[in-house]
Amino acid sequence: MPPARTGVADYSAGLVAELRKTVTVDILPEADPRYEVSIYQVGNNPLHLPAYRAALCQPGIVALHDAVLQHLHLGTLSREEYIDEFAYNYGEWMRDRARELWDSRSRSSADGVYYQYPLLRRLAERSKAVVVHNPGARRMVEAAVPSAKVVEIPHYFVPPALPQETDRTRSRLGLAPQEVVISMFGYLRESKRIGPALKALKAVPAARFLLVGQFVSQELERALQPALKSDQIIRFGYVSESEFWQLAGITDICVNLRSPSAGETSGIGIKMMGIGKPVLVTTGPETERYPELSVIRIDPGEPEAEMLAHYLRALADCREMRREIGGRAARHIVEHHTVEKAARMYLDLIA
């Protein structure tokens, strides 16, 4: 829960607030046998280890924010524990593969091979139900445990409570009235495709790039330092919720890519769509629920760089295109991603 600086913490707080309009909700630091049903919020981060362990100790409903738990295990298990967990998921004959992955774990955040082994079996087997936010995550869970009860509940959106003072914020950052702002928010890791996004800025030399968030890896930050020194870039670290909405308000285009994907639905992407911003997402099952032209899809792999440059240029040059895509995005979010709908679906599942 907040003040933890994670999207899962923000999600949990908003869900609890909505559920408490209908039922009593207690927030627990660990499993408690007095409760018939507990909801465990689990992601691919060592911060979620207590929730993961509690979900195994006393099975309940797991809300799986990342369908790949590989990095959670790499960050919390010993070498032998990791190899045993890998063998439990994929068979005794895979122990050598587990040893290779463990020994090369320093590249696990960028190497797609790690995302091919979600290590979900134990959690999915034990849980009464698994909540996911998109079809890609559903398929990962069902591949790990075909008998698992999986329920897809769309990641919710709550409109900002504070007004977005766009003129004042733009003035504070020294932005000209018509200057196009391209933004990227959140924890900055290789899978968010920061390097390709920085290279694509050459296609829109008149635009400014707002990079907001903390680097997960010092090595990645050092590698990108030459590009980060560009005058095009306005850099922020972690920002408060109110500051996020101010920066979101001045954004014209949001780059929100994920490759390789851990099966997550981006809460930031949902927020930006909800306030009517055009968002560039990676093509894949995680984003397939979004209607055509409510987002811009960028194919991963070889086409990525060219498509990214092309669409950044097109969106920067055409305000009407930005307005149309953003409007479609906002209408989709209003119809399918309200917090009221999400809470009702949780309550139906609990019942």
Range of the domain at 279: 166-336
- Please report whether residue 1 resides in a domain: no
* Confidence check: pLDDT of 309 > 90: yes
Name the token pair of 332.
């989709």
Crossing angle for the helix pair 319-336 and 304-317, to the nearest 10 degrees: 110
- Please report whether residue 152 resides in a domain: yes
236-269 pLDDT per residue, tens: 999 998 999 999 999 999 999 999 999 999 999 9
168-200 pLDDT per residue, tens: 999 999 999 889 999 999 999 899 999 999 999
Distance, CA of 91 to CA of 73 (rounded, Å)? 17
pLDDT band at 8 (very low <50, low <70, confident <90, very high): very high
Distance, CA of 51 to CA of 41 (rounded, Å)? 7
**Which residues on adjacent β-strands are paired with residue 40?**
62
Counted domains in the chain: 2
Name the token pair of 77.
């298990």
Name the token pair of 174.
């020294």
Q: Are residues 183 and 326 in the same domain?
A: yes
CATH at residue 213: 3.40.50.2000
270-308 pLDDT per residue, tens: 999 999 999 999 999 999 999 999 999 999 999 999 999
Could you say which DSSP state residue 293 is in? T
Alpha helix (H) residue ranges in the chain: 7-19, 49-57, 70-76, 79-90, 95-103, 121-126, 135-144, 166-172, 194-200, 218-228, 241-249, 267-274, 304-317, 319-336, 339-350
Cα 208 → chain centroid: 24
pLDDT for 5: 83
Q: Are residues 213 and 67 in the same domain?
A: no
Would you list the DSSP string of 108-126?
TTT-GGGGG----HHHHHH
- Please report whether residue 138 resides in a domain: yes
Residue with tokens 């929730």: 51
Q: Are residues 144 and 227 in the same domain?
A: no
Q: Are residues 318 and 286 in the same domain?
A: yes
Q: Are residues 127 and 199 in the same domain?
A: no
